[in-house]
Amino acid sequence: MKPWAQMVLLGLAAGLSTTAGGVLALRLRGHARLLRDFSRGAVVGVALLELLPEAVKTAGPETPAALVLFWAGVGFVGYLAVDRALTSRLGRGSAHHGHLGAGSLTLHSAMDGLAIGLAFQASATVGLLVAAAVIAHDLADGINTVNLSLMGGASGRAARLWLAADAAAPMLGVAAAQAISLPRLALSLLLAALAGALTWVVLGRPDSDDGRRRPTVRGALTALIGFGCILGISRVLQT
């Protein structure tokens, strides 16, 4: 099978994995609070265990780690500024929080597809390994996309549209990799900024529903399970 055909099939597989996760989240909306807590832990895991280490690795030893961390801070503060500006203009009950959160994960999925395409430029073996990693955690990405959209006040229809966009994003990334080649440093800093933005999505602003309830042990444990799932996937794929 030709490399371009392999990339198309792997991009489709990543999209199907994302879709499966999103459908699961929509089917279990009766357990919304537990899914939200799980999603919080998983998103923090994606940001701190996948995106940030990958940013440092991509930058290479010649780039100071402090520069990568600085751009993670830029992503955090930049997202905060956009969120606060939109909240001030549209009101605290605006659904823009859900769109921003889901949009960040959709961008993450597009970058996953870009990573698959760029990996195939190195070799087919490297490309298959990267694709396996992407497909493995895209199930969680689908869950997180739907949950962040709903947590931010978006409608169920909007959550489905974001899920469709997230599922299509890996294919767009794969296609983009055929036309562009980002410098390693630029890709590294983009990954770091995205890690910072996702950290703000989860930790920086309580959603309107959960902001009125006290934290629970069950919620904390569920978030830890979400974080642990991402940790487990990361460790398995590194072996």
More confident residue, 159 or 236: 159
Is the model's pLDDT at 23 over the cut of 70?
yes
- Residue 27's Cβ-count burial label (10 Å; 0-12, 13-18, 19+) is exposed
Residue with tokens 């807590």: 37
Q: CA-CA distance, 230 to 140, in Å (whole number)?
A: 8
**CA distances, 162 to each of 71, 107, 114 (Å):** 26, 11, 19
Confidence of residue 208 (pLDDT cuts 50, 70, 90): very low
Query: What is the share, in percent, of the chain residues with pLDDT greater than 70?
Result: 80
Is the model's pLDDT at 168 over the cut of 90?
yes
More confident residue, 141 or 88: 141
Cβ neighbours of residue 227 closer than 8 Å, sequence gap 6 or more: 41, 42, 44, 45
**Interval 173-193 mean pLDDT:** 82
Show me where the domains of the chain are located.
Answer: 3-238
Residues 62-93, buried b or exposed e (16+ Cβ, 10 A)?
A: ebeeebbbebbeebbeebeeebeeeeeeeeee
More confident residue, 61 or 214: 61
Is the model's pLDDT at 155 over the cut of 80?
no
Q: CA-CA distance, 50 to 63, in Å (whole number)?
A: 18
| Residues 64-87 pLDDT 10s | 999 999 999 998 998 788 767 766
Q: CA-CA distance, 31 to 113, in Å (whole number)?
A: 31
Mean pLDDT of the chain: 78
Tokens read off for 66: 């402090």
Using alpha carbons only, give the angle 50, 56, 61 rounded to the nearest 5 degrees.
150
Residue with tokens 């940030």: 52
Q: Which spans in the chain are helix H?
A: 3-27, 32-45, 52-59, 65-90, 96-122, 124-151, 156-177, 184-199, 217-238
- Report CA Rg, the chain: 17
> Residue 165: what pLDDT?
93
pTM of the model: 0.64
- End-to-end Cα, the chain, rounded Å: 27
Is the model's pLDDT at 97 over the cut of 70?
no
> Residue 132: what pLDDT?
72
